[in-house]
Structure 1
């Protein structure tokens, strides 16, 4: 696809619960053909809820505002029928836990065939079964003819994830959202799953959105990285800028948790404390209770997301963060 227009354009997306609590606050991003957007943050940061809102699957009784455009078509306010037509055909989703997302009493081949026939009513059962086998082969499942007749419990964690990916790409979606696709997998299988996703993206020119809590997962896969905390974007920019010239203490804290080949000085330094509940978000910058750079303005005023050098950062003191983010620990900038 030779077109610079983004496949998916999300602007000022907000998700508000019935009690008035905003759990996603003004998220902006675009997904382009052949590009990977990595959305990173700890559990509870709002990244998965953001993507479910994009899919038209927000929490019950919640309200969406802002804009979600797929090829220029506004999805906020679209009918349930229209959203059902788009899910699986134009936007695919790889769920976080394949063991609970896949029906355990239906063979893998039938699961994929159902996804095919749902969006292709005229497809015969025989053709859908053959296509399911081809999709299993596409995601590198060995002996696809045999495996198509097996059940989910007969697959390893990595093979289950490949089945989820096969279902998600069955109808050639233009945008693929992968929600924690490497969770609970060993590092070798993680690399294999990421390689499968990248190969499929290149083959079908999809826009890929990769959701993860691990910055290391997106290091070699993403083109753009978005760092979320407490339902808000803390920092975003090209992957190289985020890794080597981050301008936010939270991002640097996540980087300080990553092991390196060189072994780095001392032990890994986790971010102190825990993420806040979205219902009891602190005043000012939501990260200030855990930030060693926090000052009075951080406790009273929430910083806007603004451009500094090659990234967008929501930090009052982004200009004071110099040097390599991969080398400098969060504690070294404390005051």
Structure 2
């Protein structure tokens, strides 16, 4: 296994809500995981489960309430604003909306060049060559660089966003639902660009999505998130073939059949997702869980090893001995 490049330890992001701001809305609640160098780590879950908030908290675009974000042995949470600004060269983001994330008054060349100027990287000529280089890496031409964002399609605008993210040679990129706003035919093109960047440049990705098929195709390892917590982490094939958490099983059962003769048993979850400002006691999934036991109402399960590469947060498996 390669060296861990990013370690998330007990990350929390709480918002004060309610009368007199006394209640905590637990958007991200005690999340821990490790990403290895060159790995593509997927995060999946229903809308509102805290995926994007977690991604932005890792980058400190939103300040975490508690926890550690260890990038190459250094805790980003402890850095002051000037030190964190310098570290942003190494950890970048691709936003979900490829239009809203681009300045409509700037030409594409300036949009891609701006991080180089901010970090005082290279001379004017060196920056020009670097912008042209990354533009070609994402499938843009020099002619594209002199246009404005509104002159491009959604897929082309996302290519611009990717070029801006990689121009500083980052070690880690957080991709926040980068293909969800694109047509299916364009999604594959953008994913292939990101896959090439991962393989050729060794860029590590945290890939946030609600689309299990996309995550299965693109990611190496997957974490499943529910109500601000990670409930299962496993290699992608292990997760799809041997899911353990009832929530993961329900998500997988909702996938369309891959073949007309395939037999699938659909697990329909009862009720709605509880509010993160007033989560259930014990296991937060127990009101909707088809396997809920009486102990689930009072005991909080921990994310622990089912086997060496598979972690699950469920009382059904807490008696399983850790495989070393």
TM-score normalised per structure 2 = 0.89
Match for residue 112 of structure 2? 112
The 1:266/1:12 distance shift into structure 2, 3 A limit, reads closer
Does 2:49 align with 1:45? Answer: yes
Secondary structure of the structure 1 residue equivalent to 2:297 = helix
Q: Which residue of 1 aligns with 2:303?
A: 305
- Give 1:220 shift: 2.2
Are 2:18 and 1:16 equivalent residues in the alignment?
A: no
| Other-structure match for 1:330 | none
**Contact 2:96–2:181 under 8 Å retained in 1:** no
Q: How does 1:22-171 map to 2 (within 5 A)?
A: 22-58=26-62, 63-87=64-88, 89-124=89-124, 126-141=125-140, 144-171=141-168
Paired residue for 1:240? Answer: 237
In the alignment, which residue of structure 1 is the partner of 2:251?
254
CA distance in 2, matches of 1:271, 1:156: 38
Go from structure 1 to structure 2 and tell me whether the alpha carbon gap of 1:272 and 1:170 turns closer, same or farther (over 3 Å shift). farther
Q: 1:272 to 1:165 in 2, by over 3 A?
A: farther
Structure 2: 5+ residue runs without aligned partners? Answer: 17-21, 320-324
Residue 232 of structure 1 deviates from its aligned partner by 0.5
Matched residue, 2:19: none
Work out the CA distance in 1 between the residues paired with 2:77 and 2:84. 10
Aligned to 1:294: 292
Asked if 2 retains the 8 angstrom alpha-carbon contact of 1:117 and 1:123, the reply is no
Cα offset, 1:272, TM superposition = 4.1
How far apart, CA to CA, are the structure 2 residues paired with 1:272 and 1:215?
21
Mapped partners of 2:265, 2:29: distance in 1: 34
Aligned residues: 311
CA contact (8 A) 1:139 1:166 kept: yes
* Partner Cα separation in structure 1 for residue 246 and residue 267 of structure 2: 13
Report SS of the residue matched to 1:317: helix
Q: Counterparts of 1:115 and 1:162 in 2: how far apart (Å)?
A: 16
- Paired residue secondary structure (2:133): helix
Which residues of structure 1 form unaligned runs of 5+?
321-335
Q: Secondary structure at the match of 1:302?
A: coil
2:269–2:290: 8 Å Cα contact kept in structure 1? no
TM-aligned CA deviation for residue 179 of structure 1 = 0.6
2:5 maps to 7
**Moved beyond 6 Å, runs of 4+:** none
